Structure 1
Amino acid sequence: MAWFVKIERGIVDKRRFDQFIHAHKAYVQKLIERGHRAKTGYWAEYGGGMLLFEAESMTAAKAIVEADPLIQNDCVEYELHEWCIVVE
């Protein structure tokens, strides 16, 4: 599997965002359980974060991202990139 990164920028106020953060965390936990080795977090500066995970292809990665509650509820805009690791 390849690594992918979703870089996101919040587009709603914190109150609305916080309504969906627990669903997002539960979704990421399910990704972990399904073998995607997902990690999620936010920038120390307000307003964005990142999801790092493994997927079979860019198509599969896009489907994973689109199912994220933060995306489904229009809380963030995002960029999706395949991450090519050069040193482990």
Structure 2
Amino acid sequence: MPQTKSHIKNYKIILRNRSRNKKYKLAIKKAIKQYISSTKNLANHNDNLGKCQFELSLVYKTIDKAVKRKILHKNTASRKKSRLAKVLKKTD
């Protein structure tokens, strides 16, 4: 545990920021899960391509928001988006 006053204050800030970052990361994970499930439905021909593209745009939106808030690095975001687009291309 922190000893000095300044570190105690800093620790509170760290905890606050961690909870904020977690909120954005969980939103990304949820969006990715929905997108993956929609692509699996597309592979089974139960779903249309438009819904998958809509889900992909939602994932892009959440990832870009996290980059804007400096929660993810831009290269990490780019890599994630590229891999997700590749998933849709394989199911076609």
- Place the TM-score, normalised by the shorter chain, in its bin: 0.3 to 0.5
Please give the TM-score of this superposition, normalised by the length of structure 2: 0.33
Select the structure with the greater relative contact order (CA < 8 A; seq sep ≥ 6). Answer: 1
Task: Say which structure is richer in helix.
Answer: 2
Task: Say which structure is richer in strand.
Answer: 1
Please give the TM-score of this superposition, normalised by the length of structure 1: 0.34
